[in-house]
Amino acid sequence: MGFSVSASFAVIFIASIMAFGTLYISLENTYTSIAESVEAYKETFIKSQTSHLDLQGVSYIDPGSGVSIYTITFNISNNGSTLSPKYWDFVRDGQLKEPDGSTLIVEDKTYLLPGESILIRTTEVKDQIIHSLIVATETGCSLKIEWKWIWLDPNQTTGQPSIVGKAWYCS
């Protein structure tokens, strides 16, 4: 008659054990992957909640009344967790801007520890338009600084940049 009932049962039983073994391994891997993702999310959330940049001070270089540009330097301090400036993005006046060594200069630091500061310089035109610089950190939080040039005399020979606003926000 061919294959016996007990041999058929043995083949089906072994195949079932192998199928359930594969299913168990798949479920275990899925659970491990989800648990690791949840842990990574928690760590990222905590880092974003504990990170904070603040504008500590502003300085500028005005080459004189005959020149229509100036350089403004922002001293930004880290009042939160350790950050990595090499992973930051910069948006100046609505345009994504890479530090280029001339119009946007960022102090070279691998890490910005709590309490440390970093200098960011940008060159701007002397005009009455409000300019902005957004420093977007790797945590998803950003520091936005807005400023404009104000003339101190009616002949527009002497002036200085004035901070219009600053904000720290997380998305």
pTM over 0.95: no
pLDDT of the residue at 1: 53
**120 beta partners:** 74, 106
- Report the run of H or E that residue 134 belongs to, with start and end: strand 131-136
- pLDDT tens, 124-135? 877 888 999 999
pLDDT of the residue at 107: 94
- Give the chain's residues under pLDDT 50: none
- CB count within 10 Å of CB 97 equals 16
End-to-end CA distance of the chain: 72
> Can you read off the two tokens belonging to residue 20?
């359930």
pLDDT of the residue at 166: 96
Q: Which CATH number fits domain 52-170: 1.10.357, 2.30.30, 3.30.310, 2.60.40?
A: 2.60.40
Q: What is the DSSP string of 88-123?
A: -EEEETTEEE---SSSEEE---S-B-TT-EEEEEEE
pLDDT of the residue at 159: 86
